[in-house]
Each structure stands twice: as C-alpha cells, then as structure tokens.
Structure 1
Amino acid sequence: MELWEGSAGVCKNGHGEILMVLQGKKDEEKLWAVPAGGKETGETFEQCCIREVLEETGYEAEIVRQLFMKTGVISGVEVKVQYFEIKVTGGDSKIQDPDGLIHEIAWKKVSEMSELDFGFKEDREFLMKFTGSLQV
C-alpha cells in the first residue's frame, strides 16, 4: 500500500484563537483546517510542519511539542499526519502556497468552531480540547 506522510501545525494565540486556513481546489468546496501538508523527500516531520505553516500562512514558527500522529487509509493510501503544537515567531499573514489551495488565513475563536466546515471533521473536537473549552 502506498504511504503518504505529512505534518500539521496547531497554534493558539494569546486570545485563545487557533490559526486556521480555508483550503480547497478551485472547483471544490472550501473547508477549514490547521496549516498542514505533505513531507518532501528527506524532510523530517518537524521540517515539514515549519515549511507548510510558512507556505500556507506567511508565519514563521517553531515547534513547541509533538501532539499526536493521526493515521488512516484514504482511497487506498495509508496516511500518517504528525500534529505539532507550534508558536509564531515572525512573519506576516500572507498566502504563499505554491499549490494554490489556500484561500484565506484566519485566527478562529472557539465559539466559531461549531459553525466552521472542517476539512477533517475529527479535528473540531481536538481543537476545542486544545483550547481548553472542552474538557477531555
């Protein structure tokens, strides 16, 4: 079975908001997600996370800690995505995604989470727990 690996960066600001991107192909419904993407050849999960956050949001970031590995099978492909807690260390909100999949960058409040259309539905509960608004 083919393997696809990637990383996701989860960042909470001082107001308890989560850094998110609205993404999708030109002819697809646009859905919200944390910045994430696939590993390039020779890249570590950490390097992938930092690069994807920069490409998708314009923010420079550093890894705070490893959170969890999400695994599954999508269309016959084994998928592994390493989630990291990150913090913004510089840069400005700016879409510079080479794939052209990012349409908006936003800091989303917990109160907005239930209203957002998520690309990965299972992330909603995790992000609410992460912000402390939903007890584990």
Structure 2
Amino acid sequence: MQKWFGSSGICINKNNELLMVLQGKPDENKKWSVPSGGQEINETFEECCIREMEEETGYIVELIDEIKVKKASYKELNISVEVHYFLVKIVGGERKIQDPDHLIYDIAWKNIDELKELDLSFPGDRILLIDCMNNQK
C-alpha cells in the first residue's frame, strides 16, 4: 500500500472567517478545502504546512498549534494517508495563487454558515473546521 503524508493549514481571521481554496484537477468539479498538500523529501510537517499555505494563497503564515493528525486507509485506491492539521496566522504576503501544481482556482474567506453548505474536497473535515471556528470566537 502506498503512503502519502501531508499538512493542512487552518487560518481564521478576526471576523471568524476561514481561509479556503477552491481546488481540483482540470477535469474535476472544483471543491473547497483548507490549503493543504503533500510533504516533500526531508520536509517536516510544519514546513510543509507553511510552504503549502504560501503556494496556494500567497500568505506567509506562522504556526500556532497542531490541532489534529488524520490517518486513513483507502483500500480501493491502495493508499494510506497521514495529514497534520495546524492552526496558523498570517504574518505576511498577499492573496495570490502561485500553486505550482495548477490545482487552485480561487481563494476566499468563508464564514461558518457558508462552511456548513460548501461542497468540500474532504467532507469529513467539516466538523473539525466548524469546531475550530467556534473555538476562535
């Protein structure tokens, strides 16, 4: 079974809105997600999160806390995944898509009501993201 490792950044602004990206392959329906991606060789999960945030949103972030580690196996795809979720805050940069994989189509701040209705790339993340937003109030 293949193994995939990655990180996700959860960034909530002072208006209690979550930073999200609209992503997908060119031939797929696009869905919303928090910025995330795969770990590169010799990269820590923390470094992966910081890099992915900048690539997908243009923002430079600082890690506040590791919130969750999600592990899952998908036998039908012959892959197991381990994703580290970090709470982050913006410390620089500007909103700009610069994703080298060309999978990001939009960057937006979403409030909790919008998050409840969005078509998510990873629907299982909805509860975690809502909980994070509720805890930031």
TM-score range relative to shorter protein: over 0.9
Identical counterparts, % of pairs: 50
TM-score (norm 1): 0.95
In the alignment, what sits opposite 2:57? 57
CA–CA distance in structure 2, aligned partners of residues 114 and 18 of structure 1: 12
Deviation at 1:73, TM superposition (A): 1.4
SS in 2 for 1:25: coil
In the alignment, what sits opposite 2:90? 88
Question: Partner letter of residue 91 of structure 1?
Answer: G
In the alignment, what sits opposite 1:114? 116
Task: Spell out structure 1 runs of 4+ moving beyond 2 A.
Answer: none
Deviation at 1:80, TM superposition (A): 0.2
CA–CA distance in structure 2, aligned partners of residues 69 and 90 of structure 1: 26
For each residue in 1:44-89, what CA deviation from the matched residue of structure 2 results, as whole angstroms up to 9, or x when unmatched? 0000000000000000001000111011113111100000000000
Between Structure 1 and Structure 2, the one with more helix by share is: 2
TM-score (norm 2): 0.95
Q: Which runs of 5+ in 2 are unaligned?
A: none
In the alignment, what sits opposite 2:32? 32
Q: Aligned pair count? A: 133
In the alignment, what sits opposite 1:70? 70
SS in 2 for 1:94: coil
SS in 2 for 1:132: helix
SS in 2 for 1:84: strand
SS in 2 for 1:114: helix
Deviation at 1:113, TM superposition (A): 1.1
CA–CA distance in structure 2, aligned partners of residues 84 and 103 of structure 1: 22
